[in-house]
Structure 1
Amino acid sequence: MACSRCQTLPLSVETRGTLLLTGAVRELIDILIGFLEVEGLAFEDAGLEVRLPDSNLFEFLQRVRATQAFNALERRGISALLLEPGETLSFHAFTRARTLEQWLGLIDACGLIEILEAQRFVSWFQPILAATDGAVIGHEALLRGQRPDGTLMFPGEIFSLAGDNDLLFQVDRQARESALRCAASVGLQGQLFVNFVPTAIYDPAHCLQSTVGWARRLGFDPGRLVFEVVETERVGDLDHLKCILDFYRDAGYRVALDDMGSGYASLNLLATLKPDIIKIDLEIVRGIDADPQRQSVFRALVGIARDLGIQVLAEGIETQAELAYVIAEGADLVQGYLFARPAPQPHEPQWSEFWGSDRR
């Protein structure tokens, strides 16, 4: 069975059902009832619980925010839960309950929720090149969200809203599936780097089931897929991360660690996890040709990667001087705006000037 949490949105702009509201003390219920009466909403008073039949939680929260009827203490003391038609109140249902304060935070993420509900994630692609001759060996899939008006929501906003509103599970699952679907639709060849957030995965055997299923249905050879850990330095549970990476490896996929060099634990992570590829953080690569400190970090990472049989990808390259330095110091792969910006369907590049005119 696939993981249900990553496939269920906490707030829907369309779903209707029985809205349950409760407070820790009767005084809060009285304040709540006063609000419902002013708003002309039908309800049933059951002591420390109020029920609103045929209600939409999103619409209710919009009313609460528009009227500013409750102060911060009251918003934190009143909890809400929507039971869908035919659903009975159970202990498991209570896990979906949140305070009004928490629900109102989700309203600010309604743009992301609409994208998730309509499954309007797409992936753009940036090429990854071999350092030896500039040949394109694959692409990284980079997430974009399509709003109803056609404008795009970019990863910074997507993951900020998701992290603040407990939506990482849903975002991460749809992002992985979008990468596979979009790559297949544009006929990308070579390796495909697919990002994932380790903290959005409970048990890889369940949480990653849909991703593995999509890869099989779309005909991806496991050897073409590289699953890339984002924000590697922020991972707190190395045992859990190792379990996820082992799951991918056992299925025949390769794994990569992103943002290496951005924190203090990079060398220990390499020794513990032994990924197939490491991506050295763009903050290390930026201006590296003229910065001895960045050069020291880069050489240290390359050295231990060599000892462990790990490929090194230098990302964020924007100048020919940066490119020349990372190639001279042992990078296997390169990526950055110097070669191409992310695009929905990248064209075949022509970069012979960076490797010499005799490149075939």
Structure 2
Amino acid sequence: MMISPSVNRTPILLDGINVYTSNHLDCEFTNLSVLYIDVVDFSEFEQVHGYGASNHVLEVLSDTLHELISESACPWTNVQALRIWDDGFTILLPQVVLSAEHIRNIHEFVHRTQDIVNARVSFVGYTSLRLRYGLSSALSIDEQRPGERLYQLITLAGRNARRGSGTKPLFLIEELERLIESKNISSYYQPIIHLETMTPFGWEGLSRGPMGSDLEHPRVLFDCAEQLGYLLDVERICRNQSIRQSKVGPGDKLFINLSPKILSEPTFRQGETLKVIEEVGLDPKQIVFEITEHHAIDDYPSFLKVVKHYRDQGYQIAIDDVGAGYSGLVTLMQVKPDFVKVDMELVRGIENDSTKQDIVRAINYISSGFAGKVIAEGIETPDELACIQQCGVHYGQGFLLGRPKSAVGEEI
């Protein structure tokens, strides 16, 4: 990939090549992604080992990257590694769409680079280096002139590397793959209480990774699975485990968390969940797919078709975390879910906040228009419970009403 400037503007230095923010370049940046790699805590490494040792490490890293690329050991063709910004390296990838397979290939490539560098560098007091990386693609930035687009791509990829957005520590991919192979997921069940009778109406199935591991916390587990392209695999394990290990009664509901994109996956629509439900003697009407909408729904018409598909099979739908993030009035109006779960941040301290009370009353009023049952999440104090009831909410969930327990009674 040849880059040749023709207009004198502020340059950025890439492996000794000056790239100017000009629209007169000999390459096309429309179909392009950028992989940025640098060394974790490199400034601290330099303070401990000095400039000479640090420079030697960067030379080894540079040589390793170029060798792997020249030997076609990386999973792409027609790529170029460029040195930029101190300990940072950029690889230009001639593709825009970063699929799950591409992301896994990137993990493996960076991990292999890290292992080779650590094997080649050795001196007294040497501490093994850890690499981190960030990704960006031309689809993630606004239209700019070619040179400016390249600069934006590199800047964004570098920023993602530094803040860990879109990447995870390299060892997590191995830990996640072991988890998927062993299906080492623990299932817990938290009661959803009818506040008039104070009896369980249903149970929310919750999942955790291996105890004591980096993937134990569910947010880390699912965030990592999504970024590495394993979300479908992990959600399938959690969903099937929750159904098989549940002890719900004949009239109880089992709430199962799903992300919106999973609903539209072809393999999810082949009836695997129905087979598991029938296997344990449950009825589809007992299953509530709880949509955890942490991302905006980009295509509501298509999403609504998928929701209808599952409703026609007897399943019910809940929208989780209403009042936080993207979950809001638009989703309620479009989906008209059977259950509306009010985000716990609206419940926390609600007895002392009239605005929160007004919002909860509004959610309850809107939901009543399409016969949606409202569930207040995260109730932890008697005052919160009393205020929630005063706001007209008939169902609740939280530590005050019952902590999550495993099928054998162990609490989280």
Q: Is the pair's TM-score, using the shorter chain for normalization, greater than 0.5?
A: yes
Match of 1:97 in 2: none
Aligned residue type for 1:117:
E
- Write the distance in 2 (CA, Å) between the matches of 1:168 and 1:326: 34
Match of 2:176 in 1: 112
1:132 paired with 2:196, answer: yes
Does the CA-based 8 Å contact 2:336-2:372 persist in structure 1? yes
What pairs with 1:315-330 in structure 2 (closer than 5 Å)? 315-330=377-392
5+ long unaligned stretches in structure 1:
1-26, 37-42, 49-56, 77-100, 348-360
Does the CA-based 8 Å contact 2:189-2:206 persist in structure 1? yes
Q: 1:192 to 1:179 in 2, by over 3 A?
A: same
| TM-score normalised by the chain length of structure 2 | 0.59
Does the CA-based 8 Å contact 2:193-2:396 persist in structure 1? yes
What pairs with 1:58-207 in structure 2 (closer than 5 Å)? 63-68=112-117, 107-146=171-210, 153-183=216-246, 187-189=247-249, 190-203=252-265, 206-207=268-269
**Cα-to-partner distance string for 1:226-249 (whole Å, 9 max, x where unaligned):** 111012663333223322321221
Which deviates more, 108-117 or 252-261? 108-117
1:266 paired with 2:315, answer: no
Q: 1:276 to 1:233 in 2, by over 3 A?
A: farther
- Write the distance in 1 (CA, Å) between the matches of 2:353 and 2:65: 63
1:335 paired with 2:397, answer: yes
Q: 1:317 to 1:208 in 2, by over 3 A?
A: farther
- Asked which structure has the greater CA Rg, the reply is 2
SS of 1:108 mapped into structure 2: helix
Q: 1:125 to 1:104 in 2, by over 3 A?
A: closer
Aligned CA RMSD, in angstroms, stands at 3.7
Does the CA-based 8 Å contact 2:321-2:327 persist in structure 1? no
Does the CA-based 8 Å contact 1:261-1:284 persist in structure 2? yes
- Percent of matched pairs sharing the same residue: 31
- Write the distance in 2 (CA, Å) between the matches of 1:108 and 1:264: 28
Alpha-carbon distance, 1:345 to partner: 2.9
Q: 1:173 to 1:265 in 2, by over 3 A?
A: closer
SS of 1:192 mapped into structure 2: strand
Alpha-carbon distance, 1:59 to partner: 8.8
**Cα-to-partner distance string for 1:154-174 (whole Å, 9 max, x where unaligned):** 211101211222221211222
Using CA pairs under 8 Å that are at least 6 residues apart, name the structure with larger relative contact order, 1 or 2: 1
Across the two proteins, how many residue pairs are aligned to each other? 277
1:32 paired with 2:68, answer: yes
